[in-house]
Amino acid sequence: MLDKETVLTALNTIIDPMSGQGLTDAGLVRALIVSPERVGFMLEVPQDRVTQYGPIRLASEKLLAGLDGVKKAQVVLTAELAPNPQPQKAASARLSDKAVEDSRPKAPVAGVRPNHVKRVIVVGSGKGGVGKSTVSLGLAIGLQQLGLSVGFLDADIYGPSAPVMLGISKPPEFGADKLMVPPEAFGLKVNSVGFLVDPDQAMIWRGPMASQALTQLLTQSRWGTAEEPLDVLVIDLPPGTGDVQLTLTQKTLIDGAVVVSTPQEMALSDARRAVTLFGKTGIEVLGVIENMAYFLSPDGSELEIFGRGGAKKMAEALKIPFLGEVPLDPAMRKGCDEARPLTALEPDGAMASRFKVMAQKVLDGLWK
Ligand SMILES: Nc1ncnc2c1ncn2[C@@H]1O[C@H](COP(=O)(O)OP(=O)(O)OP(=O)(O)O)[C@@H](O)[C@H]1O
């Protein structure tokens, strides 16, 4: 089986035109993924040099494709972080149908990206209790298992769950730079509104107070450094489409959103509202996930307890990607309650594979 060392050594034979060093030594090989399905990395270069590196991208892809045992090679050319503030991404061409006008990303919104974070995604749901936090965490772990550095911000003021799901009891400490240092759990950098306040108090926060606390968690946490920026920050939003979600999505430069729903019509109509909210704030919806799609019974049959397929149909109707379904799995519930996330503990298990596939789709949407 091919390993990362071999790939890095091979890539070092390609010379970076700027530094004269091999690509690996020059630090240009980022987010390297070596899996049985594919080998790939992000070639991260200064913004004004992107065109110059086109041939290097092609040469790297060709080299990877020629390595023994590689089925698919993919090199994504990306510009280094620009200073804040940056304009929000332009509207997506995919949401063009008149019928889904409301869910289209509108005019670009200026927002601030947290320092040293390359991409920010939000995970939302219209309705509470659909498993948004469970799915957000699964996606964050999936992205990390694909080789990225990942942060997880639990912004759910109505029910912060990261401290319990990940077993973190101590709030973050402050560094010399007066920034919060997010504690690490299962390879993720984690911060949560639950570390700042008693959850019972958070429930009764008025909109502006809650928004301010969330902005603080976002911008005053040391997610990454200039030398080691964070690849992706996953934000678990509070359920619904109220002021808090609106303010957060307007003030922050967000690269994409994922919407979680269960199959029932009630949950779906709320999920549609969440898609609309993202559209209004100029955020591209990277996809929809159907949680609790079915229950796999011990005899192997798939029981569709809440119905199945509604989220996929909704995604098709709104012309947004469907990322996949997550079955009801008691081991998943138990893992969350006991701070033993199933997909982190069983990285080769069926549930982890499912989340890796969805994380890959998110990744493809973020770095297209
Ligand atoms: N696919 C699943 N299989 C089994 N249990 C699940 C699954 N998804 C979520 N759960 C369980 O359902 C409960 C609610 O999930 P979670 O807290 O993730 O929902 P939420 O949408 O974030 O809720 P809230 O809106 O209250 O923040 C939790 O006990 C969780 O472990």
Domain ranges of the chain: 4-79, 86-366
pLDDT at 346 over 70: yes
Distance from C-alpha of 54 to C-alpha of 69, rounded to nearest angstrom: 25
What confidence tier does 57 reach under pLDDT thresholds 50, 70, 90? Answer: confident
Residue 59: partners with Cβ closer than 8 Å, 6 or more residues away: 14
Q: Is the CB of 129 under 6 A from ligand 1?
A: yes
What confidence tier does 84 reach under pLDDT thresholds 50, 70, 90? Answer: very low
Exposure string over 213-251, b if 16+ CB within 10 A, otherwise e: bbbebbbbbbbbeeeebbbbbbbbbbbbbeebbebbbbb
- Return the best residue to mutate from 134, 158, 294 for the ligand 1 pocket (most ligand atoms within 8 A of CB): 134
pLDDT (0 to 100) of residue 190: 97
Distance from C-alpha of 162 to C-alpha of 150, rounded to nearest angstrom: 14
Is the Cα dihedral 168, 119, 29, 7 positive or negative?
positive
pLDDT (0 to 100) of residue 239: 85
What confidence tier does 142 reach under pLDDT thresholds 50, 70, 90? Answer: very high
Closest CA to 125 of 134, 112, 116: 134
Rounded to two decimals, what is the model's pTM? 0.75
Q: Is the CB of 114 under 6 A from ligand 1?
A: no
Q: Is the CB of 224 under 6 A from ligand 1?
A: no
- Extract the annotated binding site for ATP: 126-133
pLDDT (0 to 100) of residue 88: 37
Distance from C-alpha of 341 to C-alpha of 291, rounded to nearest angstrom: 16
pLDDT tens sequence across 191-218: 998 887 665 665 566 667 778 788 888 9
pLDDT at 55 over 70: yes
pLDDT (0 to 100) of residue 108: 47
Q: Is 33 within 8 Å of 41 (Cβ atoms)?
A: yes
Q: Which residue CA neighbors atom 31 of ligand 1 most closely?
A: 333
Q: Which CATH class is domain 4-79?
A: alpha beta
Name the token pair of 208: 């502006």
Q: Is the CB of 263 under 6 A from ligand 1?
A: no
How far is ligand 1, taken at its centre, from the CA of residue 129, in Å? Answer: 6
Q: Is the CB of 133 under 6 A from ligand 1?
A: yes
Q: How many residues does the chain have?
A: 368
User: Which ligand 1 atom is at minimum distance from the Cα of 128?
Assistant: 25
Q: Which CATH number fits domain 86-366: 1.25.10.10, 1.20.210.10, 3.30.70.141, 3.40.50.300?
A: 3.40.50.300
Q: Residue 321: how many CB atoms within 10 A of its CB?
A: 18
Distance from C-alpha of 150 to C-alpha of 206, rounded to nearest angstrom: 30
**How does the average pLDDT of the chain come out, rounded?**
84
pLDDT tens sequence across 19-34: 889 999 988 887 778 8
